[in-house]
Structure 1
Amino acid sequence: MNLRSSWVAETGQTREDTRLTQIGATTPQNTLEARSGILAGSNSGQYRASGFSLDGGTAAMSATLNPGRAVIQGQSGQGVYPVALASALTLVFAPGDAQFGRIDLVVLRVYDSLYDSSNRHEAVAEIIQGTPAQTPVPPATPPLSLPLYEVMVPATASAGTGGINWNTSLRDLRTSIVALGGILPVLGEIRPGAYPGQYQDSGGSLQRWDGSAWVPYPSALGGIAPAGALGSASYTGQYRDTAGGVLQRWNGTAWLPAVPGPAFNATDDGGYTTSLTYTPTLVERTANPLTLTFTAPASRSVLISYGSRVYTAASDTATAYMSLRVTRGATVDLEPNDNLAVVYSGSVAASVSSVMRLHSLIPGTSYTLTALHRSSNAGVRAWFDGVYLRVDAQT
């Protein structure tokens, strides 16, 4: 018997057999069945799983199966069989066919005559020999078996002809298991989860089973997906980093900056107006009108800063006003008014500014600010220079 097992042999199960094989690790497959697989881990902690690894070494037709522990699930209601290989085992492969190559299958197999006709009660590691063919295919996996490796045996391979090329002839079929609730280190085939909230480590990211698919961990728990890890979003309100270092939020239709702005626009091109009503145009200024477009954040609120260097030419009594218009496409949400304006009276220039809070915005919608100006006296030029607009999103 080359493989230790428990609750298979009719007689002869030793206490050592039981100690070695009481694994306590089963990953559910459904309500009654566990997933067949090997226990993850390695002696150094460097590898995801080294149990039951196959080393060809320098031998032509034999390889070493390394120690490990595993479980093999029978039919529903039959239960799961824990097995353990306590020391390395040498497997010898038959010589190659004279004409064609073949694929052999290395498996852990349980014989239990209560459920089969083998008249055996034991667990073994064995080679299932494939059929030589021009295009060989692996043999079928026997019942109550856990496939470990496919081994390509070339035509005429033997100890005298160089044997099997162990660097290119192995295909690792091992799958891993962990105890219920543990994070499964994926090895080999990616299988469906057994319940929503199950986790697995795919090697590049932590994933959560949502009931139908493995979802990257940031998507599942609302974390920030790293740059390049997430193309399409899973839900509105999801966040991701970008290669440029800009945090983005999915608004349901597009990725937008999570904290838009600050948006800013300014001009050093000065001009004047004598208009008694608010106008976006200043005489002698080429940048007409001065506008700033921004996207409303998820918080629905922004702070708007605005100001200018102002004076009223040759008058200390006239007043210069600067205010704002807020539009959303063709819709005007806020008209300029004196209550929100920055104002100044005097023939000596001064810098004036103000901050206002704009709220109840529609997240993800584009808004435009326009700077407007007026004079309190149609005969006095109100001069504006260094006009600026700035928008900061509130969180």
Structure 2
Amino acid sequence: MHVFDNAWLNFAVTFVACVVVATIVTLLVAWIARLVARRRSWPHRLVHHARLPFRTLVLLAGMWTAVGLAFPEASWLPALTQLLSILVIIAAAWLLGALVTFATDLTLGRNRIDVPDNRVARRIRTQTLIVRRLAIALIVVIALGAILLTFPAVRAVGASVLASAGIASIVAGLAAQTVLANMFAGLQLAFSDALRVDDVVVVEDEWGRVGEITLSYVVLDLWDDRRLVLPCTYFTTQPFQNWTRRGSELLGSVELDVDWRVSPARMREHLDDVLARTDLWDGRASVLQVTEATGGLVRIRILVTAADAPTLFDLRCHVREAMVTWMQHTMPAALPVQRVLVTSAGDPQPAPAREHSPEPGAGLFTGSAEAEERASAFTNAIPVIRPEDDPPRPPREA
């Protein structure tokens, strides 16, 4: 009985000594972190992420050491050692996950995407998020495998499992073809720089920004607050538009159909004045051209540039509204009209074609009835016969 009491007393002393040493270690590490934090800011974040898992791991390691050195009950020792081993593995995985989160958060904080020129930052952010998810997944898988290996029965089966690993890998690959394809597609997207977080893309006739890239799917934040979720394999097998692949600057067009009496020179002067008074225009390009002059109307195309897609949309709307308002007040004759040619059935035919015409009806606006039809089609005129000019109809017989 006296020997038994001495054994438990020895274990208690050893246990307390190990816990005290573990506490001293944690205090020493905290003191070093505070010294480093006086000159740099990142130790504060490290302490915030890793303080609790580090203290837990050191304390469990001290308890595990005390049990292995002086635990008096031999029959309980295997079960208690296995329990402490499992707890140490969980605490170590927790600490590794916290360190990964700290490192990736530090990288994300140094590469902000809420700045104008953020192409490199978006690429680094996308790759960092993918690496963090992959690292945490690997840590969890390794921790689970280490926990299973603490059981003797699992270690005995390990040899046979490794022997059949080739067949198992083939079966698993066939069963998880889609999952593995999406996973490798996600890694390809992250490290090929083809798609990044916050990229502006057009997919399936939908415009939006890349909100999230995972190992299996991509989430697009559409312009009307909807979310479009697509598998990663879509972006590696299907074409899509990336408006911010190299830069966010874009060029857009504004088209107006106006009358032939329009003055493009005056419109260019007003366009320069409109662009000079707005901050939406980035100053790179400003063009006004007449691209069509058929069908009775003249088509004016205005090309303007902006820093990004949302700004370009606002600029196009602003230019369109300003040009329409200006034409209504200063050039009403240039507003689009529908010409109607009013004739009567008894009107004589137009003058004959000019003498130098190779054949009757060769003129565009004069000549035969065929020439008049061509002129009507060209100017979009609709011939209308006035009812009062219709020839009198013969009376019906009684």
Asked if these proteins are the same fold (TM beyond 0.5), I'd say no
With structure 2 as the length reference, what TM-score do the two structures score? 0.26
Name the one with the larger helix percent. 2
Which one scores higher on RCO, CA 8 angstroms, separation ≥ 6?
1
With structure 1 as the length reference, what TM-score do the two structures score? 0.27
Name the one with the larger strand percent. 1
